[in-house]
Amino acid sequence: MMDYHCGNKLHGRLLPDGLLEVNCSSRFCGKEPGNVVLHRFKLETGELVETLKFKAPTHPQTDRKEGLDASR
């Protein structure tokens, strides 16, 4: 896999099967807080192959800090 990113953000990823995967931030595609939307494109044609939507992973360190703050 090859990642495409600037110094601050991952913009896309080239998958082993030759598809380009990008993280979408458009609410029209289903992006909302707590969800992730990924589009996969054929590099040769630019054709959208699939869109994946799922819940964003939680971060154990963040959850732990929030739990500690909530107990005060």
**Mean pLDDT of the 1-25 span:** 92
Please, which contacts does 53-57 make with residues 24 or more away whose CB atoms are closer than 8 Å? none
Looking at per-residue pLDDT, the higher value among 50 and 11 belongs to 50
pLDDT at 71: 46
Name the residue range of residue 43's domain.
2-70
| Average pLDDT value for residue range 48-67 | 77
Provide the phi-psi class of 34: left if phi over 0, else alpha when psi is between -120 and 50, else beta: left
In this structure, how many other beta carbons lie within 10 angstroms of the beta carbon of residue 37?
19
Per-residue confidence (pLDDT) for residue 62, from 0 to 100: 55
Angle ∠(34,12,20) on CA atoms, nearest 5: 115
pTM: 0.72
In the chain, the number of structural domains is 1
Residue 26: DSSP 8-state: -
Single-letter amino acid code for the residue at 47: E
**pLDDT tens track for 21-38:** 999 999 999 899 999 999
